[in-house]
Copies of this chain bind each other. A is one copy, B any other.
Amino acid sequence: MDIKSFVLSKALDAREGARSLGKASSGQKDKALLRMAEALKDSASVLQAENEKDIEYAKGKGLSGALLDRLALNEKRIDEMAAGLIEVIRLPDPVGEVIRLRQRPNGMTVGRMRVPIGVIGIIYEARPNVTADATGLCLKAGNAVLLRGGSEAINSNRAIVNILREAAKQEGLHEGAITFIDIPEREAVMEMLKLEGIIDLIIPRGGEGLIRTVTENSRIPVLKHYKGVCHVYVDKDADLIMAEEICFNAKVQRPGTCNAMETMLVDEAVAAGFLPKMLKRFEAAGVQLRGCPKTLAVYPGINDVKEEDFYREYLDLTLNVKVVGDMEEAMEHIAKYGSAHSDAIVTTNHVKAMRFLREVDSSAVFVNASTRLNDGYQFGLGAEIGISTDKIHARGPMGLEELTCTKFIVLGNGQLRE
C-alpha cells in the first residue's frame, strides 16, 4: 500500500473510532482510562524492551544526551504516564453539557450542547509520554486520536499504543479511537495534513520548525504556539521586593520552558534602585545578561543586547534587560517583539494594572505573578494538551473543554420560519 492510502485508511479508522466514542458514556470512558493505566504499569518490561530499541538506534545516530534523556522510558516515567491517565478520570466529562438554554419569543428553546470535536491529529517529537497523555485527554473528551510521533520513538510509541488500544477495546470502545501512524516516512505527515473533513483538528507539539511546517501545509485547523518570548515589566509603582522574586522565578525556576521570561523590562524611574541587586542575583544564579545602554549605565560589564535578541526564545539561562520610559513603551515592546504567550506587569497601581491586562494581547496576562504559572494545572483546568497562542477556538492552556466544541440544539413544538 502506498503512503497516501495507508494514512487515509488509518484516518478512516480513527473516524469510525470517533463516531463510536462520541456515543460512549462517561462511565465507559473512565473505566477504559483506568484499564489503560493499569495495562501500562503491567507492561513496564515490554515497554522498556521496545524503548531500548529506540535508544540503541538513537545512540547509533549520535543523538545528544538531552535528546536521549527525553526519549528514555524508565519505570518512573511509565508510572507517571499511568498516573496522568488516572488524573483524567477525576476531571468532569465535558461532553453533553448544555449551556445557555433559553426560550425564544416563538416558544422554542435554544441552547448549546458541548460535543466532541471528532478526530484530533497529534503530531509530536521525541517524548513518548505524549502518546499516553494526549490519548487520555482526547478520549475523555470523546475524541479519537490519530497519533504521529517522531521516528526516533517509533518502537516505544507503537508499544504504548498497542497497550492502550487493547485496554480500550476490552472496555467495549472502538479500537480506531486510538490510532497510530506507525511508518517513519515524513511524507505521512504531509498526507495527514490534507485530510480535511476526516481529521477535524491538528495539534502539533515540538520545536518551532515542526510547527511551522505543519501550519504552512495544513488544510485542517491547527492549534499551536510557535514559541514563548515572555516579558515581565517592572513598573515604577512596583513593590520592588515582589518584583525581584517574580523576575527571578520567571527566569530561573525552569528556564527551558515556553513560559519562562526572556526579556525583563524595567521602568527607568526605578532602574538605578532595582537593577544592580536584581542583576547581581541573576549572575550569581548563572544567568548570562544582555543589557540595553541604560542598563549598562547602572550595571556595567555585561553584554550589549542586540535588536534581534529581543525576538529570541533562549530556553536557557540568558536574559535580555531593557530600561523603558513608561508602561506605554513596555507595551509597545511586548507587542513588537513578544510571541503573545505570557506577559506580566509588577505594579501596585490599579489603573496601570487594568490597562496592561486589557491591552496586552497575549494568551495569559499577569499582574503581580510569575509567567511560569501559565499552565493548565496552575489555572485549574486539570491536565493540559498544550498551550495555544492562536486567537481562534482556544488561547492559553488547553484542557478538556478546549478539546470539545458546542453545537446549537433547538427544542420546539412545531415552530416554523415566518
Is the beta-carbon distance between A370 and B415 smaller than 8 angstroms? yes
Residues of B within 8 A of A201 (CB): 391-392
Residues of B within 8 A of A366 (CB): 409-410, 412
A372 interface residue per 8 A CB criterion? yes
Which secondary structure dominates where chain A touches chain B?
A: mixed
Residues of B within 8 A of A413 (CB): 242, 368-369
Contact partner of A370 among B357, B407, B417, CB < 8 A?
B417
Residues of B within 8 A of A221 (CB): 221, 390, 392-393
Is the beta-carbon distance between A416 and B246 smaller than 8 angstroms? yes
- Docked complex: A400-415 residues within 8 A CB-CB of B: 405-415
A154 interface residue per 8 A CB criterion? no
Residues of B within 8 A of A407 (CB): 361-365, 395-396
A10 interface residue per 8 A CB criterion? no
Give the distance in Å from the alpha carbon of A196 to the alpha carbon of B357 in the complex: 25
Tell me how far the C-beta of A413 lies from the nearest C-beta in chain B, rounded to whole angstroms. Answer: 5
Is the beta-carbon distance between B254 and A408 smaller than 8 angstroms? no
> Considering only CB atoms and an 8 Å cut-off, how many residues of chain A contact the other chain?
70
A48 interface residue per 8 A CB criterion? no
CB-CB nearest in chain B for A260: B417
- Docked complex: A247-280 residues within 8 A CB-CB of B: 249, 253-254
A215 interface residue per 8 A CB criterion? yes
Is the beta-carbon distance between A219 and B216 smaller than 8 angstroms? yes
Residues of B within 8 A of A216 (CB): 219
Give the distance in Å from the alpha carbon of A392 to the alpha carbon of B200 in the complex: 8
- Docked complex: A6-22 residues within 8 A CB-CB of B: 19, 22
- Stretch of A30-38, A73-81, A112-120, A178-186 that contacts chain B: A112-120
CB-CB nearest in chain B for A221: B392
A sample of 12 cross-chain residue pairs with beta-carbon separation below 8 angstroms, ordered by A number, consists of A104-B379, A115-B358, A117-B392, A200-B391, A361-B407, A363-B407, A369-B414, A369-B416, A373-B410, A375-B417, A395-B408, A397-B408
